[in-house]
Amino acid sequence: MMGDARDFYDRWVGQQVREGINKRHRAIVGALRRAGWQPGHRVLEIGSGVGTLTELLARGLGSEGSLVGLDFSARSIEVARRRLASFDRVELLAADVLDVSLDGPFDVIVMPDVIEHIPLEHHREMLGRVASWLAEDGFVLLNYPNPHYTDWVREHNPSVLQVIDQSIHADALLANAYPQGLYLESLRTYSLWINEGDYVVAVLRPNTPHMTFTRIAEPRTMLQRAARFIRERVGDQAPT
């Protein structure tokens, strides 16, 4: 099955190039920034494809940052290397996440629409490898289709699904993540092309016993106090 998948993505290169950077890639960058990605971080992108999201990440690395892009389609990596030839702090590898040897740690590991294409029976092993590469204060960001939407597509429009295209429900994700020392910090469903929410973004962090917690500082200026009052009032009136 994985050999069929590799052939599929080798053939899919042309479509990825034609589509280019779109709002899905920009949404992932926004989610990474909200989760804490900053210039100077060391980033691992698993499933970098032809380098579309990789290009956006490379622009934001800063002078001290670096990026490793990993994809098991050798043809995709060839195209990505040409695309990103001008970025000297980007390394692109054609390898399988289940076999590759990498030198961590990474501050950020991002999997953009990848986990649903890895067979479910390999998820615990895969997340174990991801956890071993992650810095103690780093995070993993997963972006993948809403499983309910994938179920609907499987029934009503199966021709658009890829060779391996699974529904990733939260219970299965967490059952594989927690034993590998990763905990769920956040999970949010959002809309790109479907009103009812066609995508999920999840953030995982290391479940370390040495976590620290810091009290929120009290606002000092009149403007800060007014801003807090407005936030609290809006929160109280938000629909439930």
- pLDDT (tens digit, 9 = 90+) per residue, 79-121? 999 999 999 999 999 999 999 999 989 999 999 999 999 999 9
Q: What is the DSSP letter of 186?
A: E
Query: φ, ψ for residue 62 (rounded to 5)?
Result: 80, 175
120/17: higher pLDDT: 120
Report strand pairing: 106-112 vs 134-145: parallel
For residues 184 and 126, give the distance between their C-alpha atoms in angstroms, rounded to a whole number. Answer: 16
Q: What is the pLDDT of residues 139-186, one digit of tens each?
A: 999 999 999 999 999 999 998 888 788 999 999 999 999 999 999 999
Q: Which domains does the chain have, with CATH numbers?
A: 2-213 (3.40.50.150)
**∠ CA 194-47-150 to the nearest 5 degrees?**
30
